[in-house]
Amino acid sequence: MPEDHEALQGAAELVLAAFREDGRVRIAPKGQIYPCHTAHAAVALCKNGYASHPRVQAALDYLLSDRFDDRGWRCRKFIFGHGPETDASNPGVTLLALDAFRLAGIHEGLPDLDRAVETLLDHWTVKTPVGPCHFGIGTLFMQVEYPFLRYNLFYYTYVLSFYAKARKDERFTESLAALNKKLDNQNRMIVERPNRKLGNLDICRKGKPSEAATDRYLEIIRNMEF
């Protein structure tokens, strides 16, 4: 679908209307405002040609200015209660934010973003659930999901492949090696855990190779050449 299609333009205008002047996104009139909402909106708009829109730029500026102590992003929503593990950024939100910055072309040479990359690389080592939303690296994380909607091995490796700091790190190399094992004998990516509402689409049938997912995998391989 072309970027100027009326359906996409209408959807984009709906999302843009949810932005506040400070760059944050409120998805409901009286709902809480979380950085994941802002990051999701920025990713969606950047993918559809709105990266230079003033409201998207304001959202990116806000995200850069609002980080947790470890320089990742953190939604203050303690559905699992408080504990030592919650005194960290949310890996899933951090991955989304890094995706937004790379889609906007702001993904290299910023020390603050490198710090955020480091929090995700560190999570590969720690693996246990961290952050208020308890993102972990376990059985479900290691199953290939497509399209990119949640924190999982494929999305993790894909986004980090755009960051030089990650590409030269052995923890990233380990994640890519794990992803390589998900290919079939024709080097096609097999979708293991599709979103249940999208599972009937050809791009993400469970247990089947996906041309679209394979294209994303090949982007990772091309990124490794830099």
DSSP string, 147-214: SS-SS-HHHHHHHHTT-HHHHTSHHHHHHHHHHHTTB-TTS-BBPSS--TTTTTSGGG-TTSB-HHHH
At 10 the pLDDT is: 86
Range of the domain at 225: 138-226
Burial of 128 (0-12, 13-18, 19+ CB in 10 A): exposed
At 142 the pLDDT is: 98
* Arithmetic mean of pLDDT over the chain: 93
In this structure, are 1 and 106 located in the same domain?
Answer: yes
At 3 the pLDDT is: 66
What residue ranges of the chain have pLDDT lower than 50? none
In this structure, are 29 and 101 located in the same domain?
Answer: yes
Structural domain contains residue 152: yes
At 112 the pLDDT is: 86
In this structure, are 95 and 154 located in the same domain?
Answer: no
In this structure, are 5 and 105 located in the same domain?
Answer: yes
In this structure, are 104 and 45 located in the same domain?
Answer: yes
Contacts of residue 80, Cβ cutoff 8 Å, sequence gap at least 6:
86, 132, 133, 134
Structural domain contains residue 117: no
Structure tokens at 192: 């293991």
pLDDT digits (tens, 9 = 90+) for 37-85: 999 999 999 999 999 999 999 999 999 999 999 899 998 887 777 888 8
Among residues 94, 111, 128, the one where a domain terminates is: 111
Among residues 93, 111, 129, the one where a domain terminates is: 111
Q: CA angle, corner 195, sides to 82 and 36, nearest 5? A: 40
| Structural domain count of the chain | 2
- 189, β-bridge pairs: 183
In this structure, are 143 and 92 located in the same domain?
Answer: no
Structural domain contains residue 24: yes
